[in-house]
Amino acid sequence: MAIEVITREDLNEFRTLLLSDLNAMFNSKPQQQKQWLKSSEVRKLLNISPGTLQNLRINGVLSYTKVGGIIFYAYADLQKVLETNKVEATPNLFNPKWLVR
């Protein structure tokens, strides 16, 4: 049985290779989002209850497609609803607490 000695240089080389592999993984193209989501996926994504999701459907806020007994939501519609209801942040110019260090 042969004995191999691992030196600091070997560990540094391994670390460099590992870091480059991890960087390649994190900087690679992200997985493409699904086009259609089920109710459970939408509830999890928006962190809302089934009743809230039903209210969004009933009030016409979220469009949906029903196939059999399964309700599907277009991911693009979810993004559109979030963007149209977005409230822009405006700093309070008369009391700029955000400037205080």
pLDDT in tens, 44-71: 999 999 999 999 999 999 999 999 999 9
pLDDT value of residue 5:
87
The more confidently predicted of residues 94 and 69 is: 69
User: Domains of the chain: which residue ranges?
Assistant: 36-84
3-class state of residue 2 by DSSP: coil
pTM (2 decimals)?
0.57
Q: How confident is the model at residue 28 (pLDDT cuts 50, 70, 90)?
A: confident
How many residues appear in the chain? 101
Question: What's the mean pLDDT in 81-92?
Answer: 82
Q: What is the Cα–Cα distance from 20 to 26, expressed in whole angstroms? A: 10
Q: What is the Cα–Cα distance from 42 to 36, expressed in whole angstroms? A: 10
